[in-house]
Structure 1
Amino acid sequence: MKEKTIDYVLRATWMAVAKMYNEEAGKQGSTMATGFILLNIDPEKGTPSTSLGPQMGMEATSLSRTLKTMENKGLITREKNPEDGRSVLIKLTTFGVNMRDYSKKVVLKFDEKVQEHISVEDLQTFKKVANVISDLIANRKIYN
């Protein structure tokens, strides 16, 4: 393709980022999805399982499968939510907190390296463009 579409650039870039994160996570016997979930769990209070999927944009079945794996690996526990008996809180174990810290370092190093090579202005423009694309999709302004 002589000229790359916006979709191509987004997809190729995200695939490269995902591959990089999975390689780093693999060094600790983990995955990018696991690291992403760990970063979205409140390390002190835990997080209701029902709020994890929507805040991360994950499908319920994929999230359930990953949470089960995380529980089997000793990263999380599931406890009844004292504020809502119908809900379950996902809490980090000590191992989960350590892996969350590792995931956080990986993400921050990525940010740091990107910021070394891209100006603040260009990053602001990138974020603005990404937000416009997200809004167009969320508000169904592309395909009615």
Structure 2
Amino acid sequence: MKPEETIDFHIRWAWHGIARMYNLEASKYDSSMAVGQTLLSIDIKEGTPSTKLGPKMGMEPRSLTRMLKSMEERGLIYRKVDKTDKRMVRIYLTKAGAKHRDISRDTVIRFNLALQEKLSPTKLKGFFKTIKQINELLNNQNLLNGKSKSNSKK
């Protein structure tokens, strides 16, 4: 099987293109896609427990720790012990962090609107249906070992 005949090749190829585009846009603000994603994952009013950010973003704890430290040094976030559970540390946005979050949010919206203008509703619906099914298969089955809960195609 040639690489361009595989499903994961096209997913990776598209994702690398998206990441390049987001990083190019973020570089205009001396930032990165990862910082933008982190800012978008932090609750504006309530803050977000630091332990919830990693799983929410699919990041390893060490990478997230380094990123949060860098973001704190840049004045984008601050940490505060939770009022009710003193063992928990919440991450909050500073004014600068909120401003960068708005820029990240607008960039994501602009990208999605641009795609929606170029792709028909039918194609988008088919894409979402397919990508959700791929994620379900990855989450619920051991595809590489042939073990699955259901071997039927949908």
TM-score with structure 2 setting the length = 0.90
Post-superposition offset of 1:83: 2.3
Post-superposition offset of 1:140: 2.9
Cα RMSD between the aligned structures?
1.2
The answer for the alignment partner of 2:99 in structure 1 is: 98
The answer for the alignment partner of 2:65 in structure 1 is: 64
The alignment-based identity, stated in percent, is: 46
Question: 1:15-39, CA deviations, whole angstroms, 9 ceiling, x for partnerless residues?
Answer: 0000000000000000000000100
Long gaps (5+) in structure 2: 146-154
The aligned amino acid for 2:77 is I
SS of aligned partner of 1:43: coil
The runs of 4+ residues in structure 1 deviating greater than 4 Å are none
In structure 1, what is the Cα distance between the partners aligned to 2:67 and 2:8? 27
Question: 1:4-53, CA deviations, whole angstroms, 9 ceiling, x for partnerless residues?
Answer: 21010000000000000000000000000000010010111110011111
Give the structure with the higher percent strand: 1
The answer for the alignment partner of 1:75 in structure 2 is: 76
Post-superposition offset of 1:56: 1.1
The answer for the alignment partner of 1:111 in structure 2 is: 112
SS of aligned partner of 1:86: coil
In structure 1, what is the Cα distance between the partners aligned to 2:79 and 2:125? 39
Post-superposition offset of 1:124: 1.3
TM-score with structure 1 setting the length = 0.96
Count the aligned residue pairs. Answer: 144
The answer for the alignment partner of 1:89 in structure 2 is: 90
* 1:134 and 2:135 matched: yes
Post-superposition offset of 1:141: 3.3
In structure 2, what is the Cα distance between the partners aligned to 1:140 and 1:49? 29
| More deviation, 8-17/134-143 | 134-143
Question: Which has the greater radius of gyration?
Answer: 2
In structure 1, what is the Cα distance between the partners aligned to 2:65 and 2:74? 14
In structure 2, what is the Cα distance between the partners aligned to 1:95 and 1:73? 9
Post-superposition offset of 1:78: 0.5
